[in-house]
């Protein structure tokens, strides 16, 4: 796709940009300043990483190859903008107006686009001879062709008519997204969660849905020739829904067993069970040494759960919340923690007595796009771990 013609767009110096953005940061912080209004500006290649641009008006501007990683762009007006090959990793684009914007080849790994609007819109360019504000408007659909959105959040996004062939949506959260008439031909949707998505008329030909979750999605309304649909994650069965209440009660018994030193309650086994309907019912329980091998715990709130010495080999913990959980000495070989929240979790060795301890074993685990802020991985076995997109990066 040819680069846009920049006739009539002004180019800011680094000094001018710094003054304007500092002023905007004061405005958003309620300390005076002025909201930034910079339509039809050439920001190509500039570094605005981590900047507060929330609510700013950048209509029709060009950000090609700009560095915007970690930038706050929530509620910003980016309609008709060119963001080709821009670095938007972990940027906050919640409720941003991206109608008619082009993000072909952009890197949006881990970005938050909840409620963003990428529907077709107006692509306005300054008049070739009169410049801005005399503009020429043309219709243009939202474009994400070849973009990388691995681990991004697109819940409730408006993506009708989106052009995104060969885009990488792997491990994305796309709950309730509207993909009416969108083109995702050949896209990577492996591990994505599309529950409740509207896919009427969408083109998924040749797309990869391996491990994706599509509860409530009418795939028959989309074009799926050649798509990989054989390994889609099934919703909880009726049996799982009925059994879950029993397992939660048994988990409380396990908690009593641990707290009483074996005098009350009894240990529970979650091996191979589907506990997704449990939601937050296990939050804070002491499940020390529990056997949950091969269990499906995806999306559960396991905040503060005690799982010392537990067996979670090959368990599905996609998008689970394990903030502050105690996983010391746990067996986590082959477990899938994609997009899980492990902030402040303990994964150091578990002391067993004088000069004895057992390490946490994460060999071959999937830790893609995991939040590890404040987590303790001291001494953990990390051989063969897939930690792409994990924050902070595992060394």
CA distance 353 to 147: 51
Query: Residue 123: what pLDDT?
Result: 75
Query: Residue 130: what pLDDT?
Result: 62
Q: List the domain boundaries for the chain.
A: 237-395
pLDDT > 90? residue 254: yes
pLDDT > 60? residue 2: no
pLDDT > 50? residue 5: no
Task: State both tokens at 305.
Answer: 């759960």
Beta-bridge partners for 183:
163, 203
pLDDT in tens, 113-152: 999 999 998 776 666 666 555 566 778 889 999 999 999 9
Q: ∠364-299-227 over CA atoms, to 5°? A: 70
Classify domain 237-395 by CATH number: 2.160.20
Neighbours of 205 (CB within 10 A): 17
Percent of the chain with pLDDT over 90: 87
What's the pTM?
0.89
pLDDT in tens, 51-70: 999 999 999 999 999 999 99
Q: How far is CA 141 from CA 242, 335, 386, 389, in A?
A: 45, 39, 35, 29
CA distance 321 to 303: 6
pLDDT in tens, 188-219: 999 999 999 999 999 999 999 999 999 999 99
Mean predicted lDDT score pLDDT of the chain: 93
Query: Residue 12: what pLDDT?
Result: 87
CA distance 335 to 349: 18
Alpha helices in the chain (DSSP H): 14-28, 238-259
């Amino acid at each position: 796709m040819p680069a846009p013609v920049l006739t009539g767009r002004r180019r800011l110096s680094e000094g001018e940009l710094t003054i304007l953005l500092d002023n905007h940061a004061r405005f958003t912080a309620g300390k005076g300043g002025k909201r930034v209004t910079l339509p039809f500006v050439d920001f190509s290649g500039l570094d605005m990483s981590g900047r507060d641009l929330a609510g700013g008006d950048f209509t029709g501007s060009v950000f090609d190859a700009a560095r915007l990683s970690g930038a706050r762009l929530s509620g910003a007006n980016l309609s008709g903008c060119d963001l080709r090959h821009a670095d938007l990793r972990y940027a906050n684009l919640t409720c941003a107006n991206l109608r008619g914007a082009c993000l072909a080849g952009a890197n949006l790994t881990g970005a938050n686009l909840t409620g963003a609007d990428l529907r077709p819109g107006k692509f306005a360019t300054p008049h070739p001879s009169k410049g801005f504000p005399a503009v020429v408007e043309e219709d243009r659909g939202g474009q994400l062709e070849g973009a990388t959105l691995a681990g991004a959040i697109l819940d409730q996004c408006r993506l009708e008519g989106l052009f995104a062939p060969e885009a990488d949506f792997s491990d994305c959260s796309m709950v309730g997204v509207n993909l009416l008439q969108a083109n995702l031909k050949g896209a990577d949707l492996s591990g994505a969660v599309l529950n409740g998505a509207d896919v009427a008329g969408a083109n998924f030909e040749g797309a990869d849905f391996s491990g994706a979750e599509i509860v409530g999605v009418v795939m028959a309304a989309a074009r799926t020739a050649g798509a990989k649909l054989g390994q889609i994650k099934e919703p909880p069965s009726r049996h799982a829904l009925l059994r879950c209440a029993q397992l939660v009660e048994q988990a409380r018994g396990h908690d009593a067993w641990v707290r009483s030193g074996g005098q009350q309650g009894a240990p529970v086994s979650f091996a191979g069970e589907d506990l997704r309907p449990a939601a937050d019912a296990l939050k804070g329980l002491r499940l020390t040494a529990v056997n949950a091998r091969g269990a499906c715990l995806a999306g559960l709130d396991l905040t503060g759960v005690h799982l010392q010495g537990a067996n979670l080999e090959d368990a599905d913990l996609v998008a689970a919340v394990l903030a502050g959980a105690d996983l010391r000495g746990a067996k986590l070989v082959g477990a899938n923690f994609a997009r899980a929240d492990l902030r402040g979790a303990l994964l150091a060795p578990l002391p067993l007595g004088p000069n004895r301890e057992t390490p946490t074993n994460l060999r071959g685990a999937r830790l893609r796009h995991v939040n590890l802020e404040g987590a303790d991985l001291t001494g953990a076995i990390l051989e063969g771990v897939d930690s792409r997109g994990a924050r902070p990066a595992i060394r």
